[in-house]
Structure 1
Amino acid sequence: MIKTMLTFCGILIASAASSQDIYIQAGKLVDTKNGKVLSEKTIVVSGNTIKSVENGYVQPRTSADSLIDLRTMTVLPGLTDMHVHLESETNPQKYLESFTFNEADFAFNSVGFAKTTLLAGFTTVRELGGSGVNIALRNAVNAGKVDGPRIFTAGKSLATTGGHADPTNSFNRKLVGDPGPKEGVVNSIEDAAKAVRQNYKNGSDLIKITATGGVLSVAKSSSNPQFTEEEIKAITTTAKDYGFHVAAHAHGDEGMQRAIRGGVTTIEHGTLMSEKTMDLMKEYGTYYVPTITAGKEVSEKAEIENYYPALVVPKAREIGPKIQTTFGKAYKRGVLIAFGTDAGVFEHGKNAKEFGYMVEAGMPAMEAIQSATITPAKILKMETKSGQIAPGFFADIIAVKEDPTKNIKTMEEVMFVMKDGKVYKR
């Protein structure tokens, strides 16, 4: 069989008419399980999984095998962002899109956002709430119809009437209606169970609730508690029956405490988290997904005239600048951390900026990387398939120019992306 050698952006790829295994020569390799950076390794990929990791630079063993030369780079497992919104992206007209966009408009836009996310090195994401188009997007990615990360989606977020994810907030009285569990609005224990079951019927992978007010919803409070503890327990109990875990958006302290005691798996944002709440998270084993990038981006955009509605601006100024400080305190106190950015609130593809903010707040670079690899794998019950470069794991592999434990900013420029054994960026 004839083997040809091709070069893309300085990366040498040997291709064959009928390729079997792919040999990836890595100058450095991040061992996320043990927290080490290894040198001169060869990763052998077979199909969509990693077949072996071998010492030194091993050459392809047959003429049908192919070679990818990453000897000048640092190789890592594909990253996971535990908080994205792939249906949309921030822009000054976003609040009009509910009235001017059709479902197809959101769907077509989501395809581009998904590909941008994948090319930034994020081979898996947790999609935390949209219109339901996110479920169709996941299915399209899984079917190979569009390029994107592996998606775990909440479908529609659950809220109370007037809560952060009530889909008709700010509408006029002719349009506002009275949305209920089918639309993701919960006002009782009975509603809570029904809403979870509805999301299961719709095809969701997990449940997301808005346990407190939020920044970007056109509603007054950024942080008031918006579910009773009994309602949250009804959600988490029902979710468990369906194999779901529950993520809780929360800025305010009381709402966080109710969510933690109610049995949620993750707290998103956590801006006004007290030390008491941090200790409660440690007691219950609740993970914190900080979304520092979103906080910084919304506080910056709040200073642009007419970018946000007037009711949103003071909330963005109040909440946005505080998340990084809260994250630093929570990390030092021993709270479990999972990487998440809230991409969509800012431009997709900039997810890796979060690493720099985490390190800036006091988290070692290796731990920040682990928070985006092995930690999400545990939460998503993928710990034997995702988050590591090891035999039997998905062939989700990325590469950056430098050693990120020495320069974390290199994570913002991913040079190579493979997902499921297919090269998407080289």
Structure 2
Amino acid sequence: MCLEPAPPPPTRLTRRGVLAGAAALAGAAAVLSTASPAAARQKDQAHGTTPNGDLVIEGGTLLDPATGEVTEDAVVLIRSGKVDRAGPRRKVAVPAGLPRLSAEGHWVLPGLVDAHIHLSTVAEAREAVTKGATSARSGSTTFYQDIAVRDLASRLPSQAPRLRAAGLFVTPDMGDSVLADPDLAPLVGLKDGVRTAEALRRVVEVNVVRGADVIKTRVNERAGLPDQDPLTQVYSYEQLAEVVRAARRRGKGVLCHSYSEQGCHDAVRAGVRSLEHGVFVQERTLHEMRSRGTYFTPTLTAIAGLAESADPVLAERGRTYLPVLMDAVRAAHETGVPLAAGTDSSGGEVTPVGREIELMHAAGLSPLDAIRTATVNAARLLGVSGLVGRLAPGCAGDVLVVDSDPLSDLSALSRPVGVVRAGRIC
């Protein structure tokens, strides 16, 4: 069966239609339907914030991940959801009448970024925020739910992280995801699945037309399924390069699920923006990543979670893979490969991205460098530097308040005592 090489017309299924359907699946429609202006004002008043995102956070110890600078008795002034000023209390003039959040005895730092997470429901999105991930990059969803969650995040910031959505997974067997879009229906009849250049381009183009910010593909099978071999390569270098070319034509980067060294090497040479998981990545590929500026998102928490599985195959896989991956993370850091924190949370279980930071440190990064993987590094990967990852003037008013010094106790990042998203207390 053949596919026409031209991209599908967007008129058959509008982006608005995709958002409506995906919102219903994610549960966003119900949240948005009840979010009347009066209800929003009532909620803001209950939290002591304003509808337009004005807030003063005062008295805490402020950490700037970019510089490592620590400021005691600090003030962060947020106006209209963005940082207006931040610094020592004695130097920051605060207008009267603004709502205030006391951070006395606590540490204050920018909201964290989970660079690989699967958010398919409103409940998952809300939990990610309350656990500290105020920004995120999707690792794909089954029926475009992440695109709807991104829309929710822009309208009700306290309900979801600001999100870079990946839409549907570009994978040989798309399963029921082909039912998400009439323009993907022809893929059902392909004998070998989504492997031809035309089929690969089709999935990329449909994703972009429906609103995806990034493209997610794979080079290896999954580690989380006992009947699959994560070292088996499912796409060749040429196929990966086709995905990357199709994405770049539309101004999109590609994140690639990977495990084997050869698979990692092919993905990096093909031009992916970031390598996900990458357990068996080796020195030659790490040097290639450094020269290309390719990011590494190892998802240590996901691999560690395999070791706790009730399935003996998965448990053994996790125990075997985790030390190998931690060595790879340390080697990547020493080589100069940029690292980004991602939990690979999915299926209703949201792991705090703070746990990924702890494992980055356990792999050999300093506490500050580990924090950077979920702040300034991840912000650069997502293309939101200058907005996310710091609490400097002009940055998003996304704030994490923790009960102890995270440079001495990284576990504090997994149990925030306060989260602020765009100037609104979550």
TM-score (norm 1): 0.80
Q: Which 5+ residue runs of structure 1 have no aligned equivalent? A: 1-12, 88-109, 170-176
2:366 is aligned with 1:355: no
Q: For residue 206 of structure 2, what is the aligned residue in structure 1? A: 198
Distance 1:195 1:14, change over 3 A: closer
Tell me the residue number matched to 1:332: 334
Answering whether residue 72 of structure 2 is matched by residue 29 of structure 1, we say no
The equivalent residue for 1:208 is 216
Residue 151 of structure 1 deviates from its aligned partner by 1.4
More helix, by proportion: 2
Alpha carbons 2:247, 2:254 under 8 Å: kept:
yes
Unaligned 5+ segments in structure 2 are: 1-45, 178-184
Given that 1:124 and 1:151 are in contact with CA atoms closer than 8 Å, whether structure 2 keeps it comes out as yes
Instruction: Please give the secondary structure, in 2, of the residue aligned with 1:240.
Output: helix
CA-atom RMSD in angstroms:
2.9
Aligned to 1:104: none
Give the conservation status (yes or no) of the 8 Å contact 2:306–2:318. Answer: yes
Query: Aligned equivalents of 1:30 and 1:16: distance in 2?
Result: 23
Q: 2:81 aligns with which of 36, 48, 69?
A: 48
**Equivalent position of 2:5 in the other structure:** none
For residues 28 and 198 of structure 1, do their structure 2 counterparts lie closer, same or farther at Cα, with a shift above 3 Å needed?
same
Aligned partner (choices 112, 131, 135) of residue 123 of structure 2: 112
Equivalent residue of 2:357, what SS? helix
Partner of residue 136 from structure 1, selected from 144, 148, 151 = 148
Deviation of 1:270 after TM superposition, in Å, equals 0.7
CA drift of 1:16 comes to 8.6
Shift of 1:329: 2.5
Q: Does 1:284 align with 2:292?
A: yes
AA of the residue aligned to 1:242 = R
Q: Distance in 2 between matches of 1:362 and 1:127?
A: 26
> Aligned letter for 1:158?
V
Q: Which of 405, 408, 411 is 1:409 aligned to?
A: 411
Q: How many residues align?
A: 372
**Contact 2:214–2:252, Cα closer than 8 Å, also in 1:** yes
- Which has more strand, going by share of residues? 1
Larger displacement relative to structure 2 (206-215 or 228-237): 228-237
Q: CA deviation at 1:367?
A: 0.8
Residue equivalent to 2:301 = 293
Q: State the Cα distance separating 1:320 from its structure 2 match.
A: 4.7
Instruction: Output aligned runs, 1:246-265, within 5 Å.
Output: 246-265=254-273
1:339 is aligned with what amino acid? A
Report matched runs for 1:236-275 at 5 Å: 236-275=244-283
**Deviation of 1:319 (Å):** 3.4
Structure 2 match to 1:156: 168
1:398 to 377, 397, 400: 400
3-state secondary structure, aligned to 1:414: coil
Q: Between the two proteins, what is the percent identity of the paired residues?
A: 24
The CA distance in 2 between the partners of 1:47 and 1:78, in whole Å, is 17
Q: Which residue identity lines up with residue 253 of structure 2 in the other structure?
A: H
Q: Which amino acid aligns with 2:128?
A: T
Equivalent residue number for residue 371 of structure 2: 369
The question of whether the paired residues in 1 share the 8 Å contact of 2:110 and 2:391 is answered with yes
Distance in structure 2 (CA, Å) of the matches to 1:55 and 1:291: 36
Task: Give the residue type in structure 2 aligned to 1:119.
Answer: T
Superposed CA offset, 1:134-189 (max 9, x none): 2222222323297111111111111124xxxx4269xxxxxxx994599x952122
Could you tell me how far apart the structure 2 residues matched to 1:205 and 1:32 are?
Answer: 26
Q: Could you tell me how far apart the structure 2 residues matched to 1:71 and 1:55 are?
A: 13
State the TM-score, normalized to the length of structure 2. 0.80
The whole-number CA distance in structure 1 between the counterparts of 2:240 and 2:286 is 19
**Contact 2:307/2:316 (<8 A) preserved:** no
1:393 positional shift: 0.8
More divergent stretch after superposition (127-136 vs 114-123):
127-136
